[in-house]
Amino acid sequence: MTTPRHAPVLLDRVVALLAPALEHPGSVYVDCTLGLGGHSEAVLERLPEARVIGIDRDPTALEMSTERLAAHGDRFTAVHAVYDELPEVVASLGLDHVDAVFFDLGVSSMQLDVRERGFAYAEDAPLDMRMDPTTGPTAADLLNTATAQELTRILREYGEEKFASRIAREVVRRRDTTPFATSADLVELLYATIPAPARRTGGHPAKRTFQALRMAVNDELAVLRRAVPASIEVIGVGGRVVVESYHSLEDRLVKRAFADATRLDVPPDLPFVPEGAEPALRLVTRGAEQADVHEVEQNPRAASVRLRAVERVRPPSPASRHLPHGAVR
């Protein structure tokens, strides 16, 4: 199998943020969105003390990245899982903590490039959009069964689509006679439904709808809402969590989770910070870092990236250290 080489976004900066946590012997890095393994390959090559655990829900991505990283032997372990299962994955490998966790959110280049997966609106293909094509309903299933109200919510919330209600009504009307099956069916509807002036601005008129359906089919925000607190709990002292987001809702969720983890929880008028009341984590990045103009020119996917990182500076409290997975969610 040929493994395509796509440029990972902000690769050097991500490795630099991870490095302080992964320079000691026996350190463990978890790549929660392994994809084609670009970030993991850089960690394996540049940080020789680190062991890498790669998680992905996509069996094809796991197969391709495992082939790509085979030369690193037992320093690399691939795991088929959704990344909110991080605590179970870590426990199943006999670990009580890890040293770094990384998320590169959204759809991977490989998934966009494989026509049959149905992620790309530029190619006519079955409307699938599942990151794990072995389980769950497809985008076509969602379009053919959801109510107009639910479709409106999905398009408005996940795609920020101004014409969400108009599109939803038209989807429901058309599917009564011809159920949706391929991306061309949906793109045709969108061209017919979105007014011409709006189609001429803001990129391809299908972009927002396809993004929204993908996020809904894969339950991406709910998974992330569970996974970020879980990643914070699973790192040891000196450990870091690094996240690349490409959607405002994702970045807002990450920002809120990091703010909660680094907040000083004492009355504002207290003249001193009691011992043990200091935050257990600190922000490593100031706000969200973005790609520079040069990187965006070389890799257009970097245009919308927002990069954030936190580091654990104190052990977790005894009450939270051994929480079951349901509790950290």
3 state SS of 79: strand
Place of tokens 């038209």: 170
Confirm or deny that 326 is annotated as ligand binding.
no
> 240: part of which helix (H) or strand (E)?
strand 235-245
- Please tell me the distance from the alpha carbon of residue 185 to that of residue 84, in angstroms, as a whole number: 33
Confirm or deny that 111 is annotated as ligand binding.
yes
CA of 46: how far to CAs of 28, 39, 51, 180, 279, in Å?
14, 11, 12, 47, 31
* Other residues' Cβ atoms within 10 Å of the Cβ of residue 96: 10
Which ranges in 218-298 belong to alpha helices (H)? 220-234, 248-262, 293-298
| DSSP class of 136 | S
* Other residues' Cβ atoms within 10 Å of the Cβ of residue 5: 11
Nearest by Cα to 281 from 236, 311, 241: 311
Confirm or deny that 73 is annotated as ligand binding.
no
Confirm or deny that 38 is annotated as ligand binding.
yes
Confirm or deny that 211 is annotated as ligand binding.
no
| DSSP class of 9 | T
Confirm or deny that 104 is annotated as ligand binding.
yes
Q: Evaluate whether 309 touches 282 at the Cβ level (below 8 Å).
A: no
Nearest by Cα to 48 from 68, 19, 77: 19
* 41 Cβ contact partners less than 8 Å away, ≥ 6 residues apart: 68, 69
**Residues making up the binding site:** 37-39, 56, 83, 104, 111
**Residues making up the binding site for S-adenosyl-L-methionine:** 37-39, 56, 83, 104, 111
